[in-house]
Amino acid sequence: MYSWALKPLLFMLPPDMAHALALAALGPLEHSEHLRGAVRGALAPPRDERLVVRAMGLEFAAPVGLAAGFDKNALRPRALAALGFGHLEIGTVTAQAQAANPKPNLFRLAADHALINRLGFPNEGALRVAQRLSAVRAQLQVPVGVSIGKSRAVPIEDFDAVVEDYTSAFDAVRGCADFVVVNVSSPNTAGLRAMQGTGQARALLGALAARATAGPPLLVKMGPDLGDEEIEGLLAVVEQTGLAGVVATNTTVTRSGLTTDAKLVQAIGEGGLSGAPLRARALDVVRRVRARLGRKPVVIGVGGVERAEHAMALLRAGANLVQLYTGFVYEGPGAPNRIVRGLAALVEREGARSIEDLVGVER
């Protein structure tokens, strides 16, 4: 129904309006336990012990989750969980509430199954979002992560203030999150990606890790545009600071290999590209991260997931879990169910006891 009826209507609207409409449509589901139960029965895949992932001291009924960006303010977590996601990542939130960057700031590249966004972490502030999430946390049946970023008002040049800003965001959300993701790789906050450099990353992640000793597991979200040496440097910091793992990857600033007319892409301008064009790079980065960090740290693979085969490729490259956002936009609310059921069929075909047995096993 989504592909032939709802999607064409939504894609006639500007992307930001379509997103707002989708969140509004999820409102009844969010606020009705009876409706959530019905939808969960219809859309959520049945529990399959072969798909259970145990990581970070948490249990994920399936490895497919929703990436940060879709529900920035924890407006619809119960509804989204009912669709069959194995986990959710809320945010990105910042210590200070802030509006989106000037419009237009969100664009579709339909021919490429991609999005370009330059939203810039619009959210109601970490404390407000944490309060909203805490109010419904007991009703969620899946692990929930929260992504934290830098407030736009904090100058990137004042490093001490940046650390304090991230720390404030972490302190606000730590009580309601099963894990926290430190976003230092969005291209839509000026200068933020420089925080992936070894020196700054060590200071920032070290400060946050020190506060997380008795709190939720801490991961860092890395960008896809880092060079080999930069990747190695950041992963060395992950090891040194004892982080639980890495989310790979964020959106890209590159525009190579697109089907969409180059003049249209150029007219859109700056922003992070997500979706199918990122798939190959995400695989490569996940593979490098797993090879560098070994078996213990958690790797969450993100980029171009639309079908079970895409998810399985990331798992085989070394991801413990995968996430989708752009694929959710293009494939609709039935996507989690289809991907999870497809993974079950792939595990069956492999004759594996568990999907965890296939992590990092490429053929």
Q: Which of 186, 256, 274, 354 is catalytic?
A: 186
Structure tokens at 30: 């969010």
Angle between helices 279-293 and 228-241 (to 10 degrees): 50
Q: Residues 318, 359: contact at Cβ < 8 Å?
A: yes
Q: Rounded to whole angstroms, what are the CA distances from 78 to 65, 149, 180? A: 14, 23, 19
Q: How far apart are CA 286 and CA 65, in angstroms?
A: 16
Euclidean distance between the first and final Cα of the chain, in Å? 36
Alpha helical stretches, state H, the chain:
7-10, 15-25, 27-31, 33-43, 77-82, 126-136, 159-173, 198-211, 228-241, 262-268, 279-293, 308-317, 326-331, 335-350
Q: Residues 176, 135: contact at Cβ < 8 Å?
A: no
Q: Is 186 a catalytic residue?
A: yes
Taking the alpha carbons of 77, 79, 81, 84 in that order, is the dihedral positive or negative? Answer: negative
Active site residues: 186
